[in-house]
Amino acid sequence: MPNTYLKKYLTVQENLIRNIKVNSIVNIYKSLAKTSKKNKVFVFGNGGSAAVASHFALDLTNNSYIKCLTFSDMSMMTCLSNDYGYENFISKYLDMYGDKGDVLILISSSGNSKNVVNAYKKAHKLKFRDIFTFTGFNKKSSLSRISKNNIWIDSKNYNQVENLHQICLLSIVDLFKKYKK
């Protein structure tokens, strides 16, 4: 039975990956490649998506000259969440560290995480150069509806969505490795 389950699971994963628009990934790569030394790239998610964000930030910084940041300092997260509400802690990070011309990447499997949606709105207000989003589940989620640059995975399975978000993001790192700035 595990063999049958995994074959079916991987077939679904294969079909989902075929539906990802390669141009959307290339657009993110091109945007990041235009990032100046004075600007930064921020990437955020919740739970498993926060781990994906952290992995991407680490690998992008290590393989390019881009300052890619995600904040995972628990004392700062709990401070900002306590003082401004969990739904605003990412927005507050952006207020403190973001500058006009920066780039933001947001990851939310549901596309309805209030802290991520609020971060999108804050980055827009701060005049970030580009904002990219990764969602799954419902194509008409809060984040999908407001985003002009969204990669949506047509699945309601968290692991499938998060795995494909990670594949998309790490393929951008591989583009930097292949075509160094």
Convert the pLDDT of each residue in 52-89 to its tens digit. 999 999 999 999 989 999 988 899 999 999 999 999 99
Average pLDDT, the chain: 94
pLDDT per position as a tens digit, 87-132 = 999 999 999 999 999 999 999 999 999 999 999 999 999 999 999 9
Which pLDDT score, from 0 to 100, does residue 172 have? 97
- Model pLDDT, residue 159: 93
Helix, strand, coil content of the chain in percent (nearest 5): 60, 15, 30
Instruction: Name the token pair of 174.
Output: 């591989």
Whole-number pLDDT of residue 181: 57
The number of angstroms, rounded, from the C-alpha of 29 to the middle of its chain's C-alpha atoms is: 13
